[in-house]
Amino acid sequence: MIKEKRIILGSSGRINPCSIIDYIDAGGYRALARALEGNPERVVDEVIASGLRGRGGAGFPTGVKNQTASGTHPGITHYVVCNADEGEPGTFKDRIIMETNPHLLIEGIVISGYAVASGKGYIYIRGEYYDSINKLQSAINQAYEKGYLGNNILGSGFSFDLEIKPGAGSYLCGEELTLLESLEGKRGYPRIKPPFPAEKGLWGQPTLVNNVETLANIPGIIVNGSSWYRSAGTERTPGTKIFTISGDVALPGCYEVEAGAILNDLINDLAGGTRDGKPWKAALLGGAAGTFVPYSFADLSMCYERLKERGATLGSGAVIVMGSERKFIPMIQSILRFFKHESCGKCVPCRIGTTYIHERSMELSVAGHDERIAILDDMVIHARQIAKSSLCPLGQSPILPLETLQRHFSEAMATE
Ligand SMILES: Cc1cc2nc3c(=O)[nH]c(=O)nc-3n(C[C@H](O)[C@H](O)[C@H](O)COP(=O)(O)O)c2cc1C
Ligand code: SF4
């Protein structure tokens, strides 16, 4: 029987998120004090040694990003941007962190600011997250009052300011370069990569962009050390991971476990199994841009390396469970409607292509068995073409759900 291992969510539900005193009493801001005692390189080295990988979806090593951002153009303005856009369907972990323990995130941001020689940070947050915004703003005010933000933090000579910027509800604005355009006050259109934000980001300056969950890991790593961090999880995915389990389960919710936990244990032991008590039919891992897996993947270890071996994705940690009665056709129609809606329209293949594959998916409802197989094949071919010729990663997003639907469930979809 698997149990949660609450590190990031350790104080969630136990402390008052609106009280900095509660946070300090629970050991909060000790990591910041420890970081400021040493030089910034020590923080970067510790994060590299921890093996922490970005929790926003791509799994890029956080320490390497820190190193790039800190080493680029020494002496000029650097920024830290916390990506709290949380637009991936089925994902709601960042909201839980921000609403239950906002100071943990703030502490992680200030330490990261110190590591990359930045004096200014922004939290780019999903505009609909009213409660998160209010709690974060109140926590930021308290951190200024107590000297954990602002000038000469804890008498160290290091100064750092932090501001919240709500987004306007575009999925694409969660993509780091589009986010920076939006943060600069421009329309949410993507930029060409490279250069990466760590080299040339906000207003052309080196910028560290990290996800909420990634940054919330930093205080624990600094105060307890990288070996402690590596004692949980797997070799290539150390630490814990927060999974958001939704769909046809008895106890949908946000669960923190050691990375590498088994998929079926997450669904059965934590999320209470399916609502009808029968084995689940499929799970969509990583959200709308993720991968469908069948029940034969129940023994899947939820870490980057094992998932990759079996052609699945961890993404943001969303696990959308489909019970035995759930149908694939409305599911894929809903996913493709989402991408059509969220395409920014800047480039033709994605603008026209996402509309085309969505329209094709609507034909599935009235098609017969063989025709359904042919339509799915056609959608996969078009999704591959869109991916090859699109400007930004959103154009690549429909491929994985479509390919994995075709690989594992074409017959099930054709007969439903
Ligand atoms: C279309 C799209 C949407 C994204 N949305 C988010 C998001 O809502 N939150 C997030 O943290 N990362 C999102 N990402 C990933 C970011 O581009 C980036 O990889 C991440 O913020 C880096 O932080 P990390 O290294 O801590 O994971 C998105 C990427 C794409 C392509
Ligand atoms: S791929 Fe889609 S979302 Fe990305 S720039 Fe082109 S139209 Fe916009």
- Ligand 1 neighbours by CB, cut-off 6 Å: 54-58, 60, 83, 85-88, 171-172, 174-176, 209-211, 214, 393-394
Nearest to 180, CA basis, from 202, 155, 149, 213:
202
Note the Cα 191 to chain centre separation in Å.
Answer: 20
CA 47–ligand 1 middle distance (angstroms)? 19
Domain ranges across the chain: 20-230, 240-322, 328-415
Could you tell me where the beta strands, DSSP code E, fall in 18-160? Answer: 79-84, 120-125
Backbone phi and psi for residue 257, each to the nearest 5 degrees, phi listed first: -140, 170
Q: What CATH class has 328-415?
A: mainly alpha
Q: Which atom of ligand 2 is nearest to the CA of 395?
A: 1
Q: Which residues contact 44 (CB under 8 A, 6 or more apart)?
A: 63, 66, 67, 70, 115, 116
Give the closest residue (by CA) to ligand 1 atom 8: 86
Ligand with smallest separation from the Cα of 392: 2
- Give the DSSP H or E segment for 236: none
State the amino acid at position 66 in one-letter form: N
pLDDT of residue 73: 61
Q: What CATH class has 20-230?
A: alpha beta
For residue 195, whether the previous peptide bond is cis, meaning omega lies within 30 degrees of 0, is yes
pLDDT of residue 77: 75
CA 374–ligand 1 middle distance (angstroms)? 33
Name the β-bridge partners of 81: 122, 209
Domains 240-322 and 328-415 share a fold: no
Backbone phi and psi for residue 271, each to the nearest 5 degrees, phi listed first: -90, 10
CA 202–ligand 1 middle distance (angstroms)? 16
Pairing of strands 161-166, 207-211: unpaired
Q: Which atom of ligand 2 is nearest to the CA of 342?
A: 3
Helix (H, G, I), strand (E, B) or coil at 247: strand
CA angle 195, 197, 201 (to 5 degrees): 100
Ligand with smallest separation from the Cα of 175: 1
Q: Which atom of ligand 2 is nearest to the CA of 354?
A: 2
Ligand with smallest separation from the Cα of 47: 1
For residue 194, whether the previous peptide bond is cis, meaning omega lies within 30 degrees of 0, is yes
The Cα–Cα gap between 292 and 331 comes to: 11
Dihedral over Cα of 228, 232, 235, 237: its sign: negative
Note the Cα 393 to chain centre separation in Å.
Answer: 15
The Cα–Cα gap between 210 and 250 comes to: 32
**Upper half-sphere CA count for residue 229 (Cβ side, 13 Å):** 26
Instruction: Quote the radius of gyration of the chain (alpha carbons, Å).
Output: 22
Q: Which CATH number fits domain 240-322: 3.10.20.600, 3.40.50.800, 3.20.20.140, 3.40.50.1860?
A: 3.10.20.600
**Is residue 35 a contact partner of residue 222, using CB atoms and an 8 Å limit?**
yes
**Is residue 362 a contact partner of residue 330, using CB atoms and an 8 Å limit?**
no
Best mutation site among 392, 396, 399 for ligand 2, i.e. most ligand atoms within 8 A of its Cβ? 392
pLDDT of residue 71: 73
Mean pLDDT in consecutive groups of 10 residues from the start of the chain, 416 residues: 95 96 98 96 96 95 92 75 96 98 98 95 97 98 98 96 95 97 96 92 95 98 97 96 98 97 97 96 96 97 95 95 97 98 95 97 97 98 96 95 98 96
For the chain, the first-to-last Cα distance in angstroms comes to: 34
CA 258–ligand 2 middle distance (angstroms)? 35
Best mutation site among 193, 340, 343 for ligand 2, i.e. most ligand atoms within 8 A of its Cβ? 343
The Cα–Cα gap between 357 and 383 comes to: 7
Backbone phi and psi for residue 211, each to the nearest 5 degrees, phi listed first: -70, 160
pLDDT of residue 75: 64
Nearest to 100, CA basis, from 183, 194, 191, 26:
26
Give the closest residue (by CA) to ligand 2 atom 4: 392
Question: Token match 């469970």: residue?
Answer: 321
